[in-house]
Amino acid sequence: MRRTVVLVEDQDIVREGLRSLLEAHSDFVVVGEAGDGLEAVRQVERAAPAIVLMDLSMPTMDGAEAIRDIKRRFPRVRVLALTAHKSEARIRGALAAGADGYALKSTTAPELVRAMDTVLAGERYVSPDIPDALVRQAPDAPDAPAQPSVLDRLSEREILVLRLTARGKGNKALAQELCISVKTVEKHKANLVRKLGLRSASELAPFAHEYGLFR
């Protein structure tokens, strides 16, 4: 039985290469693709894959945030971070978010398949190119889903409005970027203020920075 995969990578050419690699391997079938973290969560919800190959540096929602959301909502889905980053912060962040493995984009095709097989078997995989000291310092993936976050109260569109607000976008710029009216932007912000228990829309940007949504 072929194992289902969702590919998450913001660079089209890299994603196409990964799809070709996996399609040439009879054990895997690609059932979804995404170029950012929010779309990744939607694709996992739609396709219910066995495994997700997750880039970490992406627009809208980065890989660690997407991993955390996927593992909270779909704990049986295995997630293999596939990235060019070898820093301790990235490794710790991905594994703390719940990633089942950490592979580098410089890996060979056979090694990538081995990494996928490893995490699908329920074991942790970390690239052999990463120093053992960093692996020992990295936290274990959480055994249970994290407690609900205040962000769980928000819709995907509300999170996007919050993130863009943190980046300094005014109501008019927000409306243009999201292809909605200024009145709809104001409605989203009013809902955010109410759901987050804030006093006014002026507190949205500081809140987003506090929760790391500015990245």
pLDDT by residue (tens digit) across 141-160?
444 444 445 666 788 888 88
Taking CA atoms, 85 is separated from 82, 96, 156, in Å, by 9, 16, 27
Collapsed DSSP state (helix, strand, coil) of residue 94: helix
Q: What is the pLDDT of residue 172?
A: 94
Are 95 and 190 within one domain? no
CATH of the domain at 173: 1.10.10.10
Q: Which of 59-63, 118-122, 163-167 is least confident?
A: 59-63
What number of other Cβ atoms are within 10 A of residue 56's Cβ? 24
Q: Please, what sign has the CA dihedral across residues 82, 86, 88, 89?
A: negative
Are 163 and 119 within one domain? no
Is residue 175, in this structure, part of any structural domain at all? Answer: yes
DSSP, residue by residue, 115-133: HHHHHHTT--EE-TTS-HH
Look at the chain and report how many structural domains it folds into: 2
Query: Percent helix, strand and coil across the chain, each rounded to 5?
Result: 50, 15, 35
